[in-house]
């Protein structure tokens, strides 16, 4: 992923820590230097971040193609659906 992003888009991709460390890293960082540009989180991490008021509301009108996302991806997210976008659905396991 990293080499594809660098070659195709001239960007740098870096993974830092694990999901269980994300909220504490954001809280500890200076307001003008957040540790992440994008965060992908599970329900637990998202809930912890929302409780800390770390995430801004998402203006979905600014996301091209968002209207094509099926509404049922958001149906069970409650008030959290105002923050971010759904990123996965399905079953995980062995």
| pLDDT tens per residue across all 94 residues of the chain | 455 566 777 777 777 667 778 899 999 999 899 888 888 777 788 888 889 998 889 998 998 888 888 888 878 777 788 888 877 655 444 4
* pLDDT value at residue 88: 65
The CA radius of gyration of the chain, in Å to the nearest whole number, is 15
* pLDDT value at residue 91: 47
In angstroms, the Cα distances linking 82 to 46, 64, 93 are 12, 17, 28
* pLDDT value at residue 9: 75
> Rounded to whole angstroms, how far apart are CA atoms 14 and 77?
28
pTM score: 0.62
* pLDDT value at residue 92: 46
Q: Residue 27: enclosing H or E segment and its boundaries?
A: helix 19-28
DSSP label at 17?
S
> Rounded to whole angstroms, how far apart are CA atoms 86 and 66?
10
């Amino acid at each position: 992923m990293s080499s594809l992003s660098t070659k195709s888009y001239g960007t740098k991709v870096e993974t830092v820590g694990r999901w269980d460390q994300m909220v504490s890293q954001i809280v500890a960082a200076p307001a003008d230097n957040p540790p992440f540009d994008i965060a992908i989180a599970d329900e637990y991490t998202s809930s912890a971040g929302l409780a800390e008021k770390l995430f801004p509301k998402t203006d979905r009108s600014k996301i091209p193609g968002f209207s094509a996302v099926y509404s049922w991806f958001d149906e069970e997210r409650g008030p959290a659906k105002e923050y971010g976008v759904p990123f996965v659905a399905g079953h995980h396991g062995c």
